[in-house]
Structure 1
Amino acid sequence: MEFTVHGDADGGPLCLVLGWGNAPNQPAVRWLLDALGDAGFRTHAAEIPTTVTSFEDEYLRPLSEYVADAPDFTATLSHSTGGLIAAHAIRRGDLPGRAVHLSPWWGLHPSQRIPFRILGRIPTSRALISTESDPNVLGDLADAGSREDTGLAPSFVREIRRGQASLPAAGPEEVAFCTLTDGLVGTDAIGERLPAERIRLYDGGHECFASSGRDAVIDDAVAALREGPAALR
């Protein structure tokens, strides 16, 4: 797990746990980091490994160790796989309970359920399946060429399924943003973990920050980071 810091030194410290395959140098992620900086946050962004053999040792432990030496974060922001990691980290007390999860991967998309069950049985941590990005799935402003095709490993699939199976209950200040047409995460799992008043729907792809209308979405996310769930009512 790699960490980078973005934004004005005087801004409130924010922890952002990025999604699988996301990196600060990607145009859409860079736009998000700039928007957070303009909103007054100093963002500590965690870029996560795409192949792991232990959810705890390679996701939760490095995040906990970094947070221990970082400034006291005012809020948590996450995306996709980062939303699964952040949910566990919040329950452990490593990250603030005031959290905005963007398209959190709390459950498998219907198209993933059978393939992931089969793939997870293969005893290897080698990447076996290509994961070329589809801009139509990520968002109409996505630059697929900026993402590396690192491939999907069975060990990663097993650890994600295990993390989803042990997903803790949501805290009172957690909210989620999602599109009901998301092709990468199970939106039913978002509805099962959070009440409707703590879910903000948007039109677009899996990455709201790579979708048209992203300015309004991120404005609402910033408000929720500052004010909590009341900002969505």
Structure 2
Amino acid sequence: MGIGQNINFLTTQHSITQDILKNSRNISVIVASTDNAMGMPAAFVLSMKMIQRYRPKYICMVGICAGIKGKGKIGDPIIADRVWDYGSGKHIIKKVDEKRIEAFKPYINQIALNKELAAQFSNIILKNLYLDQIQSSWPHDYNNKLMARIGPFASGSAVIANENKLNEIKEQHGQLLGFDMESYAIFYAADNCSHPKLTPFIIKSISDFGDSHKSNPKKDEYQEFAAFTSANLFYQFVVSHLE
């Protein structure tokens, strides 16, 4: 679609419908909710229903995710440049020093972000656009400068609050930035829907690090902050970068 035409989006975290005015055209944002049902099956079914009904040009998921310590801070937005299901694989028995032990062999079937969108997000990160403004709009000061990041992102079927499980996921990709329970389903739905195809992208911000400290006293506040930074970066990207 060119300038002067509507651009339709599907997001899957909130329950508000909004038309965004950009120059002389409206950008129609179609917002859907899973009624608090988490996980890839719920996200996939909802996405397919919305795709079939509205045929949007883009599909996006915003919200919160777990990050990798040392590769992000609370509130930092992550843009997935590839997504996979970290729980997809084969449970095996292997021999180690003559002992039979259980092991997991992952099947890492990645779906990549559209190259044009990846370049646009990389430019935002390089120039550090929008994040200072977004951070200054938040009522609390965390003394940490927000930074957006783009890189590998994984999804799975369970909430992770376990360092051992986290280490298993990190071993699947050395550059992993974060993980959640839904994003792979969004990419998979877009990749497998009927024509015309649409473009998926994910903007999720870090609210925890998937370890045993997940339920800290500031959990709700961190989740609110992460949701805020994610949604605001989505807005700025839509109005400033998409045609």
TM-score with structure 1 setting the length: 0.37
Higher helix share: 1
Higher relative contact order (CA 8 A, sep 6+): 2
Q: Which has the larger radius of gyration?
A: 2
Q: TM-score, structure 2 length as denominator?
A: 0.36
